Amino acid sequence: MRKLTAGLFCSVDGVVEDPFLWQFDSFDAELGAGMGEMMGRIDTALLGRIGYQQWAQYWPNAESDADFAGFINPIPKFVASRTLTGALEWQNSRLIEGPLEDFVAGLKDGDGGEIGIFSSISLVHQLLFAGLLDTLMLIVHPVVAGSGRRLFNDGDPLTRLELQSSQQTSKGNMILSYGLRRD
């Protein structure tokens, strides 16, 4: 069975939205290596509509970050959307048909490497609470963002997690990987 993995940059106060606004001075070589290791295991991407639309405008022609563009452009990308219709323009991109949880469960039962969720807080949230997310990697930067969207909300169900791995980087980032506690 394939694993479903999500990685989010996070501030100490729990903000996961727009990390480019607050992570710039704490990104270090160890964090880059950890991201590279994760990308090496992923061969399929899940994206939400907004993330897809933003990334489809940038990554097909990106020259400033050739490593990530070389990773994300050729892999299969499945997009969850209630409003997009028809064929998607970004290479190897398809709309998810049917219920999201059913589609992801079927994808996990297929052949291949890990499946990664990219650029979608709502997909991470939904698939975690549906019990389909195997690894939630939170990359906590030593900063208080002050405002922005958080992954978890008041009213979310009590959910036990177990720490799979942890690493501190030289600039004080914490790379924390969690899975659902299955007991």
Q: Which domain holds residue 83?
A: 4-180
pTM of the model: 0.93
Structure tokens at 155: 């009213």
Q: How many residues does the chain have?
A: 183
CB-count exposure of residue 182 (10 Å: 0-12, 13-18, 19+): exposed
* Residue showing tokens 């291949």: 112
Spatial neighbors of 154 by CB under 8 A, at least 6 apart, are none
Residue 103 has what pLDDT?
98
What's the number of domains the chain is made of? 1
- CATH number at 148 reads 3.40.430.10
pLDDT in tens, 96-155: 999 999 999 999 999 999 999 999 999 999 999 999 999 999 999 999 999 999 999 999
pLDDT at 183: 79
Contact at 8 Å (CB) between 147 and 42?
A: no
Percentage, residues of the chain above pLDDT 90: 83
- What are phi and psi for residue 85, nearest 5 degrees? -140, 160
Residue 157, Cα to own-chain centre: how many angstroms?
A: 21
Tell me, what amino acid is at 10? C
